[in-house]
Amino acid sequence: MKKISVIILCILILFTSVTANGLNLAVTDVENNITFDESLDYNGVDCSVAVDAELMTFAKSVVLMEKSTGRVLYSENENEKVFPASVTKIMSILLVCEALESGKITLEDKVTCSDNASSKGGSQIWLEPGETMTVHELLKATCVYSANDACTLLGEYVAGSETAFNQLMNKRAKELGMKNTHFDNCTGLDDTTDTHLTTAYDIAVMSRELIKYDFIKEYTTIWMDSLRNGETQLVNTNKLVRFYDGITGLKTGTTDKAGCCVAATAERNGMELIAVVMGSENSKDRFNSAQNMLDWGFANYELFVPVIPSDSVKTISVDLGVKDEVNVLYPEIPSVLINKGKSDKIKVNIITQDGISAPVTQGQKVGVIQILSGEKILSECDITAEKAVEKLTFFTAMHKILSSL
């Protein structure tokens, strides 16, 4: 009897512990109707990693990229071709953003659902043929719920047909330098294709391009929302949106071929990072891997804005010009990515010509600003002439002499 009581007590303690932590042991991935274990209490995990420590990731391939410089901070198998699942939609959303920016479409435009869009499987908002939604609503359904029918309908609206939109996707991929990418559709559904492939690096590249549109983060950071006057509930497939400090997006993906994938973006102190995780065995691994990389990046890197010394050259002499000197213009120096706490090692080197000969054109290069860390040049910017200076002629020379007299 005593032994049975002890067993019952242990069971009660275990049950109380699990309930107290508020753990959800079975959560459905709405992208693919796959059940995965989400028992990890992310908020209680200390994922801070020292710069020299091994960064723990659980995936086929990963990339950590800084947005402003495009510099890769960490990678594993970044050029290995993989199935991207719904991470594909980053390119679809990018093309929609570009169509909005150009004025080709607006968020208020009403779009009528086609038979083709309504027939898409996987994650969807169950659009009916002939049903009308705005671009705003369709974009929200695509970004938050990864709805294949909404994404397809947006593609048809932008390009005229799903096929034409797919061609635009591949054309844009080439323009961005995504050398190892080929899209067969705009959704990432891969049950009928073996050629819909990309890489972790290429995904980071298109993610970097997408997050240049700040307004898209109004969609990618939504945790819960609804459509059809509250009848259709939307829950973000990106679980990091719930808790990760500074999260800005971006897109998840899950299929049997792709495994569990995510492109996660976050910003802190003016620095935005892109963590791409491809081919994790389960959803917990993909989010852990993304969080580990983001935490590691924020812990070990920062953006630093160098300052031009106040005593820098203000003018440069001009030989044989109608004016003896020209003012110089210093550009806005871009931020440089450095190891955190190493800003005292950054130097600004100003190099200007002693003099230049007329004629001088406005914007002509007259020097350079070098940003250095030790002997290594991190970046260079041109110093230019503020205004044009014409060459001195006989008549302008005589006028100048007479004026001085």
Q: Which two structure tokens, joined as six digits, stand for 256? A: 């049997």
Query: Which residue type sits at 51?
Result: V
317 flagged as catalytic: no
Q: Give pairs for 342-351: CB < 8 Å, separation 24+.
A: 342/373, 343/302, 343/304, 345/373, 345/374, 346/304, 346/306, 346/371, 346/372, 346/373, 346/378, 347/371, 347/372, 347/373, 348/306, 348/307, 348/308, 348/309, 348/372, 350/308, 350/309, 350/312, 350/313, 350/383
Q: Which two structure tokens, joined as six digits, stand for 26? A: 């079975």
Q: How many CB atoms lie within 10 A of CB 330?
A: 16
CA 138 – CA 348 distance, rounded (Å):
48
Q: Pick the catalytic residue: 60, 61, 67, 89?
A: 89
User: Of 88, 27, 78, whose CA–CA distance to 257 is shortest?
Assistant: 88
92 flagged as catalytic: no
Through-space distance between the first and last CA atoms of the chain, rounded to whole angstroms: 121
89 flagged as catalytic: yes
Query: Which residue type sits at 387?
Result: K
Q: Pick the catalytic residue: 86, 92, 114, 280?
A: 86
Three-state DSSP state, 292: helix
CA 86 – CA 32 distance, rounded (Å):
10
The CA-atom distances, in angstroms, between 234 and each of 90, 138, 255 are: 18, 12, 20
Query: Which residue type sits at 228?
Result: R
Q: Pick the catalytic residue: 92, 114, 146, 280?
A: 146
Query: Which residue type sits at 292?
Result: N
DSSP state of 321: B
Q: Which two structure tokens, joined as six digits, stand for 98? A: 């570009």
Q: How many CB atoms lie within 10 A of CB 238?
A: 25
Q: Would you please indicate which residues are annotated as catalytic (active-site) residues?
A: 86, 89, 146
